[in-house]
Amino acid sequence: MRKIHFWKGDGIVTLIATLLGVFLALYLNEWNTSRKQKKQKEIATENILQEVNANKEKLQKSVKHYEVMLETYIFFTDCLTSERSIVTSVENMSKFKTKHPGIIYTLDSIKIDNGNYRYTNMDLNLGFTLEQMELRTIAWETLKSSNINSTYSFDNLMSLQYIYKSIDAIIQMNNEIYNDAKKFAQSDVSVLKKLIFNIKMAIHYEKGIIDKCGEQYERLKNRG
């Protein structure tokens, strides 16, 4: 009796070739997808690095700006009267003008007591207070809405989330300071204490975020 062969040699070869072709196609597809994802991650990381660094530089400028504002408003607290004249010694006035030129211009003064003078005819240049911060979040928003975020470590994502949530809070804080500084420039002395408190808080908060931006920049740059 003749045996029946269910598989012929050429059939097995065809099957193996087909399977290898499928596996190779899957591998190439996965490799190509991985390569594209890696490239997208490199671009996303570079965008985040630029954005984090740009925001860090703006925050550093903001801190310096706030420090000038703080010293100015503390000076006003010590010597600004409700009539918006300044009562202080010549030494104190000279010291402030030397450190922060261009903010106070005095023309007339009247000697009163204890070595103090009342400066009545003066011009306060408070334009330095009227600035609103512009921090960028585009790269972060783009990353969050893409599938690339799954390729980052949990620690990196949480750190970035913290930085950008803090940036939102800083922008709100800055806007409040901006509005109160505008009121003070328009002769509303009642906001002075609030301004000083908020500026101190802003300086403390922004210095912390500057450090966090620096740490995250190095972490992404080295490990991604």
Segment 128-145, tens digit of pLDDT? 665 667 888 899 999 888
* Sign of torsion over alpha carbons 54, 57, 61, 62: positive
d(CA 119, CA 110) in angstroms, rounded, equals 7
pTM higher than the cut 0.85: no
- Which pLDDT score, from 0 to 100, does residue 105 have? 85
Q: What is the DSSP letter of 101?
A: T
- Which pLDDT score, from 0 to 100, does residue 141 have? 92
d(CA 59, CA 114) in angstroms, rounded, equals 42
- Which pLDDT score, from 0 to 100, does residue 9 have? 56
Phi, psi of 78, deg, nearest 5: -75, -25
Query: Residue 180: which of 197, 203, 166 has the closest Cα?
Result: 197
Q: Which residues of the chain have pLDDT under 50?
A: none
The first and second tokens of residue 26, run together, are 């899957």
- Which pLDDT score, from 0 to 100, does residue 208 have? 94
Amino acid at 51: E
3-state SS class at 107: strand
Q: Please, which residues have CB within 8 angstroms of residue 146's CB and are 6 or more apart in sequence?
A: 40, 44
CB distance 87 to 116 below 8 Å: yes
- Which pLDDT score, from 0 to 100, does residue 92 have? 92
- Which pLDDT score, from 0 to 100, does residue 114 have? 82
- Which pLDDT score, from 0 to 100, does residue 165 have? 92
- Which pLDDT score, from 0 to 100, does residue 223 have? 64
- Which pLDDT score, from 0 to 100, does residue 82 have? 77
- Which pLDDT score, from 0 to 100, does residue 128 have? 62
- Which pLDDT score, from 0 to 100, does residue 189 have? 81
Q: Please, which residues have CB within 8 angstroms of residue 209's CB and are 6 or more apart in sequence?
A: 59, 163, 166, 167, 170
CB distance 195 to 184 below 8 Å: yes
